[in-house]
Structures are given as C-alpha cells and as structure tokens.
Amino acid sequence: MSAATATRVPSRSFGTRVADLLKRRETSVVIAIVVVVALATSVNRSFAFGSDGFRNLLLTPSLLVVLSVAQAIVLISKNVDLSVSAVLGLTAYATGDMFTLWPSLPIPVVVVLAIAFGSVLGAINGLLVSVARVPALVITLGTLYIYRGMGIAWVGSGHINPSDVPNSFERLGVASVFGIPILTLVALAVVIVVAYVMGSTRSGRELYAIGSDEDAADLYGLRVRRRVFFAFLSSGTLAGLAGVMYAARYVMVDSQAGAGLELQAVAGAVVGGVAIAGGSGTVLGAALGAVLLTTIARALPIVGVPDFWQQAVVGVLIIAAIVLDKVLAIRNVRRLAAERERQLEGVA
C-alpha cells in the first residue's frame, strides 16, 4: 500500500454533506424566507408575482443588508455599533447637500466623499472604543445621539428634494440590470467582499479570535486594538455607503433619515446567526437575516397582522435567535468535553 493511499482521508458521503448543510443557520433562514414569501403570495399574488413584486423583494432589503453586514463585523469582534443609523442619516443628507452646493460635481466624486465621511464617523467610534477602552455599547449609544444631533443642527427643518439631485443619480435608486436592481447588486457585492475578508484573510480570522476571547488574543500577540478600530472603521464606511444608497433610493432626505435602523441592523445580524457575545456567525447569515426581517415586515400587513404584532414578531425572532445560540453553545461545550473524555480513556 502506497503512502498516498495510507494517508488518504475518506470522502464524506452526500447524505452527510446534506445533513451538515441543513444544520447551518443560513439554511434555516433561507427556508424561513421562502415560507414567508409563499404565505404572503398565497394571500396576495402580487406580493411576488406582481409588476413590482419580485423587484421589491430584491430592492427593499438592500439598505438593511448593508447595515447588517456592517453590524456583523463589529458584533463578531464582541462589540456593537448603535450609531450606524445616524451615520447613514448624515451621509445621506451630505450626499444631497453636495449636489446642491456643487451641481457640477461628478456623481462618483460625491459618492466617494460621502462614503469617506462615513469612514471618519466610524473611525471616531473606533478610536474611542479601542484607545479609550470604553465599552462599545456606551460609546456608540452616545455617538448615536451626537451624530443625530449634528444632523438636526445641520438640516434643521429643511430636507433634500428630488429637484436637488441629478436625474442620473435619482435613477440609480430604481434602475436595474437584467431585472436586478442596481442597489441590490451593490448590496450583493458588499456581502461577497466582506464575506471573503472575514472568512479568508488574516484580519478577518483575527476578529473572530478577538470576539471569542479578547484576553487570549492579546496574549497570543494579536493587535486587538488595531483590529477593533478597523472593525468600527469598516462599519462606518458601510453605513456611509448605505447613506448614499438611501439618498438614491428615497431622494427625500431629512434629519430623521434612517432613524431606528440601528436596532434592525443588530436584529438582522443576530437572527442570521451572528452571536451577540461575539466570535461566531457569518456575513452571509447577517445578510439573510436582514432579508428575512424586511420580507416579514412587508408580508405581515398583507396577511392582516396589526402593526403591534409586526414589532412583536421581530422581537420574538431576536429572542429565539439568542436562545438558540446559547443552546448550541452549551451543546458544543458538552460535545467537546465528551470527546476529550473518550480520548483520555483511549490513552489510559
């Protein structure tokens, strides 16, 4: 028998692979999305098959997908960013205001400047959390109110009108490529890029290590503060991108743009399997969680569920996701302990 044959690892059966796939949180979220769409469509066929039904299924979640991905990066590092909605609001208004102040400014330049503005706001959060070592919940709750207050002082009672932005920019919010909205393609690109960074690069893997055990990561020599800073920088950058998308999608922008989306972003990430305690979860799961929440929000009024119960359903999903994560964590600990005991018995 050759050495290659002796060391060959047995291939996993098709059934095992399917079983593993079905156990993943992403699969259960996809199934839930399909069930919600099917139920809503059975009540009102236009939900998925109307003239704008399929397009809205793709377009509506785009903003929340980007924000949930931003939130996932921070949550994985065992932090949280409650200021993303205020960053979105500021960058959305800044986008429209730049078109008003400098009408000849090219659209790509405005987009880059608005995203850079979001990066600066995210960097402020990162510096306060990583350098001052103040809990992220406290810092970002404070900057949420500060950024929102800046928006109120800047915008006042005014707002951006459709006439203030170029027609070509306004069309970005409704244009499609091969039937897929451009904003949906932007959100998909964000998911692909961030998923690659988090899953296949050293910086992404280190964020998982930091979220699992920050003290151990520090002792191991990981640059904890730098990684946490870049997590918040990334969150601010993506929130800035979401602000540009918001301006293109709705055009009408005032001081309350994006209000409340910070909790929906956290909810999307948690429902998608990103642990609130850090160290686990995927970007794809966060994106799918955002799609599920948005789809439920659109479906419940169609099936006649009152507004109160719409909010209650989201709350139940969040609690269920957290409880499920806790149960799975306990089960994994027990499984690892059992395997360790079997190994010790085998050595003995």
The pLDDT score that the predictor gives to residue 132 is 84
Tell me the pLDDT band of 131, cut-offs 50, 70 and 90.
confident
Q: How long a stretch of residues is the chain?
A: 348
Assess contact for 236 and 120: CB atoms under 8 A. yes
Fold of 24-319: ABC transporter involved in vitamin B12 uptake, BtuC (1.10.3470)
- Cα–Cα distance, 61 to 47 (Å, whole number): 14
CA distances (Å), origin 315, targets 20, 318, 329: 28, 5, 21
Mean pLDDT lowest among 209-213, 272-276, 339-343: 339-343
Taking the model in full, what pTM does it have?
A: 0.88
3-state helix, strand, coil in the chain (%, to 5): 75, 0, 20
What's the token pair of residue 341? 């005991």
Which region among 1-5, 291-295, 333-337 has the lowest average model confidence (pLDDT)? 1-5
Phi, psi of 253 (to 5 degrees): -130, 130
pLDDT at 3: 46
Per-residue pLDDT tens digits for 229-275: 999 999 999 999 999 999 999 888 888 888 889 989 999 999 888 98
**Residue 281 Ramachandran class (φ > 0 left, ψ -120 to 50 alpha, else beta):** left
For residue 157, pLDDT over 90 is answered with no
Residue 7 is predicted with a pLDDT of 47
Alpha helices in 213-223 (DSSP H): 214-220
User: Is the distance from CB of 13 to CB of 24 less than 8 angstroms?
Assistant: no
What is the model's pLDDT at position 20?
65
Taking alpha carbons only, the member of 254, 10, 305, 309 closest to residue 246 is 254
Identify the H or E element spanning 180. Answer: strand 180-181
pLDDT reported for residue 127: 94
Query: Where do the domains of the chain lie?
Result: 24-319
Three-class DSSP category at 10: coil
Q: What is the pLDDT of residue 21?
A: 65
| Mean pLDDT to the nearest integer, 44-72 | 87
342: left (phi over 0), alpha (psi -120 to 50) or beta: alpha
Lookup: tokens for 315: 């709350």
C-alpha separations of 29 from 22, 136, 273 in Å: 11, 28, 9
Q: Is the dihedral of CA 225, 230, 231, 236 positive or negative?
A: positive
| pLDDT for 14 | 67
Task: Sort 198 into a burial class: Cβ within 10 Å, 0-12 / 13-18 / 19+.
Answer: buried
DSSP SS3 for 90: helix
pLDDT digit string, tens, across residues 71-84? 999 999 999 999 99
- Mean pLDDT score across all residues of the chain: 86
List C-alpha distances in Å: 7 to 3, 14, 87, 95, 346: 6, 21, 54, 59, 22
